[in-house]
Structure 1
Amino acid sequence: MIEKRTFDELAHVNHDWLQARHHFSFGRYWDPARMGFGPIRVWNDDEINAQTGFPMHPHENMEIITYVREGAITHRDSLGNEGRTEAGDVQVMSAGTGVTHSEYNLEDEQTRLFQIWIEPRAAGGDPRWDAKAFPKGERAGQLEILASGFDEDINSGALMIRADARLYGAALKAGTKVQHKIANGAHVYLVASAGSLRINGEEIAARDALAIRDVSALDIEALDDAELVFVEAFELNN
């Protein structure tokens, strides 16, 4: 099963300072047919105006990944963490038993990012936050694991999340082809962050998505210079 979801069909909520597009039900947007994809609960495509952002607010029992497409985001939380994550880089937060945080665009330009929520493998645990720079040159022409809930990936440099999932990213020159074997039972949600791609025969443009299930492999071709990210996630009972 491969279902294409174009950027134009995403729910659009205008908050003045924030232009939010929701791949799944979130906040004001409610669609019982789009409550998530496997353990992936939220994928928001956010455009945050300069010198604005999300004030302090709480979370618990969720793994939250932020992939910055353009600009930068500054994080502060009730644990005392503070950090700035730039375009192409990633931050992760395990909400665990509870944490409050803010996310502000303190830049003089708009910030664009993907906000991804994944169910943790177990409730509770101490909340935590981390961030890491992932130079795009290091994932040029290949897939790189950016965040993972599996020890072998974390030991190789991926950010840690407490979920049975991996976040992949790639930057591909036009004409580049890569293949990824999908693990049995996985849900894959893929979004083109820039450029256009052909994946298993489906063409997608920037910010379009593919929801993929019961497919053995991804055959990815960059139709022009492109970037993509995807989550490969497993149901909690797998």
Structure 2
Amino acid sequence: MIELRPFDSLGTFRNEWLNAHHHFSFGGYHDPERMGLGRLRVWNDDEVAPGTGFDPHPHRDMEIVTYIREGAITHRDNLGNEGRTEAGDVQVMHAGTGITHAEYNMEKTPTRLFQIWIMPDQRGVAPGWGTRSFPRDDRGLSVLASGRPADAGSDALPLHADAAVLAGTLAEGQTTELRLAPGRAAYLVSVTGSITVNGVAASPRDGVAITGESTLTIKATNATELVMVDVAA
């Protein structure tokens, strides 16, 4: 089944420095039909104003993935980690037994990102953080972060969850095919262009929830960047 979630149907939050859209229930936005997909719990589409950001705050027992679409984000945490992740790249934070972090846009332009929360397979893992640069080309989707057994030994950032975050670009008119193993679900967002997923049309930043499908045929109506999460359903 392919369920389209139009961008204008998402939950919203806005203040003087943050413009956020929530694909799943989050903060003050609650929709009992959008509580998550398998172990995928949060997908926020955030725009952070220059020179602002998220002040230090704690998390526990969550895998938090940040994919930068435009600009960059600077991470700091109480473990002593600090780093800058820029457009097209990804950072992963393991909240585990507890971590306090801050995320700031130190750039002169807005930063646009996806923040994705995935519930870990076990509680109480060691907290940590990592970031990595990945090539962007018209070759379909590549695995950026994963805890799937099939991705063990790859150069993907590790996740403490049977899930994977994939991203890539498609040229106008290009088609890519993906297989979903039995019992898996996926959530897909096209960043900049329109696409079809198994014939269902989606506009930029719409959410596409996928269950019960073994093969995905994704065609780019316009050149675009794609981000997808694969999880146990």
Q: What's the TM-score once normalised by structure 2's chain length?
A: 0.97
What is aligned with 1:29? Answer: 29
Equivalence map 1:85-124=2 (5 Å): 85-124=85-124
Amino acid at match of 1:109: T
Instruction: Please give the secondary structure, in 2, of the residue aligned with 1:54.
Output: strand
Q: Distance in 2 between matches of 1:122 and 1:146?
A: 21
What is aligned with 1:219? Answer: 217
Of all paired residues, the percent bearing the same amino acid is 53
Q: Distance in 1 between matches of 2:104 and 2:161?
A: 26
Instruction: Please give the secondary structure, in 2, of the residue aligned with 1:26.
Output: coil
What is aligned with 2:199? Answer: 201
Amino acid at match of 1:35: M
5+ residue gaps, structure 2, are none
Indicate conservation of the 8 Å contact 1:70/1:87, yes or no: yes
Indicate conservation of the 8 Å contact 1:141/1:176, yes or no: no
What is aligned with 1:178? Answer: 176
Shift of 1:142: 2.0
Shift of 1:66: 0.3
Instruction: Please give the secondary structure, in 1, of the residue aligned with 2:100.
Output: strand
Q: CA RMSD in A?
A: 1.0
Indicate conservation of the 8 Å contact 1:186/1:232, yes or no: yes
What is aligned with 2:55? Answer: 55
Q: Which segment drifts farther, 41-50 or 194-203?
A: 194-203
Q: Distance in 2 between matches of 1:202 and 1:98?
A: 41
Q: Deviations over 1:8-38 (max 9, x none)?
A: 1111111220001001111111122211111
What is aligned with 1:128? Answer: 128
Equivalence map 1:5-84=2 (5 Å): 5-84=5-84
Q: Which runs of 4+ in 1 moved over 4 A?
A: none
Instruction: Please give the secondary structure, in 1, of the residue aligned with 2:191.
Output: strand
